[in-house]
Amino acid sequence: MTTITQGGTTLTPTLVLGYESERESGNIVHPIIGTGIPDITFGPASLRTGTLTIFCLDHAAALAVEALHLVAGYFVLADVDLPGINMKYVPAGKIAVKLDDARKRWTVEIDFQEVPA
């Protein structure tokens, strides 16, 4: 079971249909002229960015997910079966509501930026 919480509001989506994340490495590689060995400045990787895709059984549910993400503030994604995706995040980019023609169901895609818990 997955929940998305913002403030005092918690939604339990039917399904997290898609989750894609990436991180930027914090390392900087400095080429050294005349050698094949670079100098490396080590740094921590950034927090996750990506896209969360929520599957909704009807348009009303999709609009509820969209409306929640229009509120300014932090969000918490929690999943008991996939704790590796748990995070605190903010929407950062597009929030898209789409009709899946094949299933006649709705999805909401949210671009996110993870923030420190």
At residue 103, the pLDDT reads 72
Q: What percent of the chain has pLDDT over 90?
A: 93
At residue 17, the pLDDT reads 92
**Identity at 12, one-letter amino acid code:** T
- Per-residue model confidence as pLDDT tens digits over 63-104: 999 999 999 999 999 999 999 999 999 999 999 999 987 778
At residue 104, the pLDDT reads 84
Q: How many CB atoms lie within 10 A of CB 21?
A: 16
- The pLDDT-based confidence of 4 (bands split at 50, 70, 90) is very high
CA-CA distance, 82 to 101, in Å (whole number)?
28
* Dihedral, 11, 12, 14, 17 alpha carbons, nearest 10: 80
> What string of DSSP letters covers the chain?
-EEEEETTEEE--SEEEEEEEE-----EEE--TT-S--EEE--PPPPPEEEEEEEESSHHHHHHHHHHHTSSS-EEEEESS-GGG-EEEEEEEEEEEEEETTTTEEEEEEEEEEE--
